[in-house]
A and B are shown apart, each in its own frame.
Chain A
Amino acid sequence: MKELLIGNAAIARGLYEAGCKVVSSYPGTPSTEITEFAAEYPEVYAEWAPNEKVACEVAIGASIAGARAFCAMKHVGLNVAADPLYTASYTGVSGGLVIGVADDPGMFSSQNEQDTRRHAIGAKLPVLEPSDSEECLRFTKLAFELSEEFDTPVILRITTRVAHSRNPVELNERVEVPNKPYEKNPQKFVMMPAMAKVRHEIVEERQKKLAAYGADCPFNRVEMADTKIGVITSGISYQYVKEALGERASVLKLGLTNPLPDSLILDFAAKVDKLYVVEELEDIIETRCRVLGLEVTGKEIFSLCGEYSHAAVRKAILGEEAESVAFPEAIPGRPPVLCPGCPHRGLYYALKQAKVYVSGDIGCYTLGALAPLASVDSCVCMGASISGLHGFNKAEGDANYNKAVAVISDSTFIHSGVTGLINIAYNKGISTVIVLDNSITGMTGHQQNPTTGLTLKGDPTAAVDLEALAHAVGIANVRVVDPNELEATAAVIKEELARPEPSLIISRRPCALLKTVKHAAPLSVDADKCRGCKACMKIGCPAISIRGGKAVVDHTLCVGCGVCTQLCRFDAFKTKEAR
């Protein structure tokens, strides 16, 4: 049977078919759906962990127990999970262990464009790179075999375009793989210096064996056609190369990109006149070619930045471009925005009025950096809002403690914000931290987390009590506000900033997109009352625009949250009843 699956769903299917037993992940675009789809198979235990380090350690533990285990994350998540992973490379595995990492060339939904292959080189781990959904499924299954054969965790590296592209995939049945019986083996699994020294030697041997294996393996293949042009490529770039060049080029398609198969590369290079490397992001294959003494063209004509396309390959290698027409005027951009009814809107409005430095974090609420709210001053990585604020305030000095806050979501707070809060309490900080508790992990498309009281599979479970947690780590001042009540929210922020002690404000209102949230009827504008003062435009609600000098509400977008009514001095917004 064939189904049209996105790459992430195909990986989940591969986990199912391979008999994978334990999946632990933290959501992050473009990797999130792998774990969501995996959770749909009752045979697979799947969970959301609080962060990628925990998730990776859960998978490592399951592998030591003898089961096939998997863990998914986005590229920056691997920085968080790097600590266990680099050493799991030394221990190797018992049950097959596969780490799915999704890179984001073009940064559709990310804060940087790092290349996971760099981590793989550092950790000395094999990397498999599928180029479409069919390979996502097949490589996932083979990854477990590779992991067990070479006694190593395997990185399955995808990119946004592979994760979120759909193509027909042949489905097969699950093959149950019983746990390997656990045997105590401290030489292999206890990484203290005496044991690790021995294991490091084994890792280096493994690298050599994997490089030799790459010369003749199911992941790498040569497709000979015209030999005037030869291209070495991997992942999605393979599809662009085939589309752009067809029979006009011979191709060495690499599915196993760490370690690289030197002999295969040298053989291929000898058969073609001019050698190109087409790889998104870093110049890893290209650099290896140069080490091997090959003359090669790569990043001179391809960018280190952004996503590629077949058009980019065609232009760079053949110098050909398609004809096109363009609209004869500059077109206003359409950046993503906070949704109508988003609870973050009211909070950001209050922060903007308070004129404070806002140490931001990762999530939907990073959008508060954009006009007209333009409230967020910094955003680096998950959890950095709180620790960064503490540093900011220590640098500013105690006299200036009341000019800055941190904003962080419930999910991100649990991921890595709580350690920053402990740091503030422990080191006598005076910072004001605001947790934007919208009862869900929003940006990635509504995943449960330890504060929501539900598991990945939807079962009721323990929920973190944020107020009690803050008290327990030593924060005495904990306040809860409804961000849609602008005046009350502004007053609490003012009070807590004025206090020369650390505070935690919980800005609590569920995400407006949650199915459980009941919306009020859309509002309308009384054109006779509206003076066109644009006070309501300061909150940047996509449902409100100005037409003919008056505010109008788009009824298809408005969810009746009522934040705009609090800004209008002329009482121009009408509820359904008033109409």
Chain B
Amino acid sequence: MKHNIIIVGVGGQGTLLASKLLGRVFMDLGLDVKVSEVHGMSQRGGSVITYVRAGEKVYSPIIAEGEADIIISFEQLESARWLSYLKKGGTLVSNTQQIDPMPVITGAAVYPEKVLERIAALGVNIVAADALALAAEAGNVKSVNVVLLGIAAKYMGLPEQVWQDAITATVPPKFLEANRKAFTLGYNYEA
């Protein structure tokens, strides 16, 4: 089975750790893995996209429009921006957080209304969650990434233990407990 997963958000939100963790899970399952990351200028509060692919043999490290099984989005506007990458019948897991981009802050553009409702109206399977609140509940607001990963995990059909093992291997000990809890809160989340 091939997995095509896209993680999108705003530079600085922790998308890189999520993709690293996801890549680790697939590698532990014995699959070929490719993860493509964004470093450098686009990390400074810009829109960022990370691709995670796994399967018997993976060539391209990126995912094109209409190909993603799952999009994990850390921010509403980014859900809209990268929506075209979702395949027909794919699932969008979206944080409900809104972060105004600079053109909105300067008044040059307007943040669209009711983004997630309008995406749902297009017939897209969408799971929306206030991941920031769940992360706070887990004890670390920075664990938004792991909460969202937990929610998405349910749609990948992989055993929960593989995930917990990967978290243990990837996350520094100091933050381990909060992240394990964040994952479970996400995994058990009911939209």
- The chain B residues found within 8 Å of chain A, CB to CB, are 10-12, 20, 23-24, 27, 32-47, 58-62, 64-67, 77-78, 80-81, 83-88, 99-112, 115, 118-119, 122-124, 132, 141
CB distance from A170 to the nearest CB of B (A): 12
Known: A4-B23, A332-B77, A337-B46. A164 touches B32 (CB 8 A): no
Other A-B pairs beyond A327-B84, A546-B105, 15, CB < 8 Å? A108-B40, A161-B36, A166-B23, A311-B65, A325-B122, A327-B122, A333-B47, A337-B102, A339-B12, A367-B41, A372-B102, A372-B106, A443-B40, A443-B41, A554-B99
CA distance A148 to B124 in the complex (A): 57
| B64-A311 in contact (CB<8A) | yes
Known: A325-B122, A443-B41. A242 touches B59 (CB 8 A): yes
Contact check: which of A2, A168, A328, A556 meets B141 at CB < 8 Å? A556
CB distance from A384 to the nearest CB of B (A): 18
Contact check: which of A132, A323, A329 meets B61 at CB < 8 Å? A132
| B59-A337 in contact (CB<8A) | no
Query: Would you list 13 pairs from A and B whose C-beta atoms are within 8 A, ordered by A residue?
Result: A166-B37, A167-B35, A322-B87, A327-B80, A333-B109, A334-B10, A334-B81, A339-B45, A443-B41, A444-B40, A540-B102, A540-B105, A542-B105
| B60-A337 in contact (CB<8A) | no
CB distance from A265 to the nearest CB of B (A): 22
Q: Output the residue of A244, A327, A334, A541 with the most chain B CB within 10 A.
A: A334
| A4-B46 in contact (CB<8A) | no
Known: A333-B101, A370-B102. A166 touches B44 (CB 8 A): no
Known: A108-B38, A332-B103, A335-B46. A167 touches B32 (CB 8 A): yes
CA distance A243 to B2 in the complex (A): 13
Chain A contacts for B11, CB-based, 8 A: 336
Contact check: which of A165, A335, A540 meets B37 at CB < 8 Å? A165
Chain A contacts for B67, CB-based, 8 A: 311, 322
| B119-A327 in contact (CB<8A) | yes
A550 interfacial by beta-carbon distance below 8 Å: no
CA distance A6 to B112 in the complex (A): 36
Chain B contacts for A30, CB-based, 8 A: 39-40
Contact check: which of A109, A168, A545 meets B40 at CB < 8 Å? A109
A338 interfacial by beta-carbon distance below 8 Å: yes
Q: Which 9 A-B pairs have the closest CB atoms?
A: A322-B66, A109-B40, A311-B64, A29-B40, A336-B46, A332-B109, A324-B66, A334-B101, A243-B60
CA distance A541 to B45 in the complex (A): 11
Chain B contacts for A81, CB-based, 8 A: none
CA distance A1 to B104 in the complex (A): 48
CB distance from A361 to the nearest CB of B (A): 14
Chain A contacts for B109, CB-based, 8 A: 332-333
CA distance A476 to B59 in the complex (A): 59
CA distance A541 to B100 in the complex (A): 11
| A324-B65 in contact (CB<8A) | yes
Chain B contacts for A108, CB-based, 8 A: 38-42
A549 interfacial by beta-carbon distance below 8 Å: no
A294 interfacial by beta-carbon distance below 8 Å: no
Chain A contacts for B33, CB-based, 8 A: 4, 166-168
- A314-366: which residues lie under 8 A (CB-CB) from chain B? 321-329, 331-339, 364
Chain A interface helix/strand/loop/mixed: loop
A544 interfacial by beta-carbon distance below 8 Å: yes
A455 interfacial by beta-carbon distance below 8 Å: no
CA distance A6 to B20 in the complex (A): 10
A239 interfacial by beta-carbon distance below 8 Å: yes
CA distance A560 to B153 in the complex (A): 36
| B65-A168 in contact (CB<8A) | no
A371 interfacial by beta-carbon distance below 8 Å: yes
CB distance from B90 to the nearest CB of A (A): 10
Interface membership of chain A positions 288-331, coded 1 if the CB is closer than 8 angstroms to chain B and 0 otherwise: 00000000000000000000011100000000011111111101
- A534-554: which residues lie under 8 A (CB-CB) from chain B? 534, 537, 540-542, 544-546, 554
CB distance from B181 to the nearest CB of A (A): 19
CA distance A336 to B12 in the complex (A): 11
CA distance A544 to B99 in the complex (A): 10
CA distance A545 to B112 in the complex (A): 15
CA distance A337 to B23 in the complex (A): 29
Interface membership of chain A positions 150-183, coded 1 if the CB is closer than 8 angstroms to chain B and 0 otherwise: 0000000000010011111000000000000000
| A537-B106 in contact (CB<8A) | yes
| B60-A240 in contact (CB<8A) | yes
CA distance A331 to B84 in the complex (A): 12
Chain A contacts for B24, CB-based, 8 A: 4
CA distance A94 to B46 in the complex (A): 45
A445 interfacial by beta-carbon distance below 8 Å: yes
| B112-A335 in contact (CB<8A) | no
Closest to B115 in A: A327
CA distance A444 to B41 in the complex (A): 8
| B77-A164 in contact (CB<8A) | no
Contact check: which of A161, A325, A339, A554 meets B86 at CB < 8 Å? A325
Chain B contacts for A322, CB-based, 8 A: 64-67, 87
| A545-B105 in contact (CB<8A) | yes
| A334-B32 in contact (CB<8A) | no
CB distance from A391 to the nearest CB of B (A): 27
Chain B contacts for A370, CB-based, 8 A: 102
CB distance from A320 to the nearest CB of B (A): 11
Chain A contacts for B111, CB-based, 8 A: 332
CA distance A542 to B75 in the complex (A): 15
CB distance from B57 to the nearest CB of A (A): 9
